[in-house]
């Protein structure tokens, strides 16, 4: 609409008009499910969630329910919001922390452009096995899906992957790190740290499983966009 009146698609603007665009919500096929949610921030276009470890982002394969998508669709229905699920980035099932979800296609497009332009920043905290002598470094190692299982591996023909780490503290047999992603590949931090000989504590795939901490010690602590 232009100045509160219906308008033709071909109509030209002269300047100073008020244009109103109604975005129809996308058809939602995700079933709502009442699940605990830790909402950090929400407005008309996006929502930031502190995702729990063990929660899948959206239904896939054998994971038909119990996902973040199921929980958010329920939340939006209960709060009478016209929103649809558009994850801007993803976290592994075993990774906890902040995750950004757009609530309409337009917001998703704008935020995805920030990722492509390198203006979307993600910071993680992690505990790795062993001590690290270099206080900080950038890991540049392309990744590809391994031939078997769910593992990823470093390979020259893989997709570009860049991680920067900074040692916050070294402890007996472990180190606390802050890590920044310049790319967002599956298992990127886990593979990159394992390649240094310092896999994440509790990582059952790239490190040594720990019955006292049965998941990788990795938490998404900050988003900037």
Q: Which domains does the chain have, with CATH numbers?
A: 39-117 (3.30.2350.10), 121-224 (3.30.2350.10)
pLDDT at 196 (0 to 100): 97
- Of 25 and 72, the structure prediction assigns the larger pLDDT to 72
Report the alpha-carbon distance of residue 83 to residue 74 in Å, rounded: 11
Tokens matching residue 189? 């931090």
- Of 150 and 36, the structure prediction assigns the larger pLDDT to 36
Element (H, E) at 125: strand 121-129
* Tokens 């699940």 -> residue: 35
- Lowest mean pLDDT: which of 60-64, 69-73, 194-198, 215-219? 60-64
* Tokens 């391994």 -> residue: 146
CB 103 within 8 A of CB 45: yes
105: left (phi over 0), alpha (psi -120 to 50) or beta: alpha
- Of 27 and 165, the structure prediction assigns the larger pLDDT to 165
Which residues are the active-site residues?
92
- Of 63 and 177, the structure prediction assigns the larger pLDDT to 177
């Amino acid at each position: 609409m232009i100045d509160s009146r219906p308008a033709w698609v071909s109509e030209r603007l002269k300047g100073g008009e008020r244009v109103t665009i109604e975005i129809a919500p996308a058809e939602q096929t995700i079933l709502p499910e009442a699940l605990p949610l830790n909402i950090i921030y929400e407005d008309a276009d996006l929502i930031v969630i502190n995702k729990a470890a063990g929660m899948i982002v959206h239904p896939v394969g054998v994971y038909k329910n119990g996902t973040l998508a199921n929980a958010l669709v329920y939340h939006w229905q209960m709060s009478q919001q016209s929103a649809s699920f558009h994850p801007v980035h993803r976290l592994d099932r075993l990774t906890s922390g902040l995750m950004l979800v757009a609530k309409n296609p337009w917001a998703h497009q704008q935020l995805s452009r920030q990722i492509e332009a390198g203006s979307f920043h993600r910071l993680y905290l992690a505990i790795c096995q062993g001590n690290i002598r270099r206080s900080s470094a950038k890991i540049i190692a392309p990744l590809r899906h391994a031939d078997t299982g769910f593992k990823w591996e470093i390979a020259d023909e893989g997709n570009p992957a860049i991680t920067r780490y900074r040692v916050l503290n070294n402890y007996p047999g472990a180190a606390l790190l802050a890590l920044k992603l310049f790319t967002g590949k599956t298992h990127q931090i886990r593979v990159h740290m394992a390649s240094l000989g310092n896999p994440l504590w509790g990582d059952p795939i790239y490190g040594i499983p720990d019955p006292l901490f049965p998941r990788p010690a990795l938490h998404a602590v900050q988003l900037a966009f």
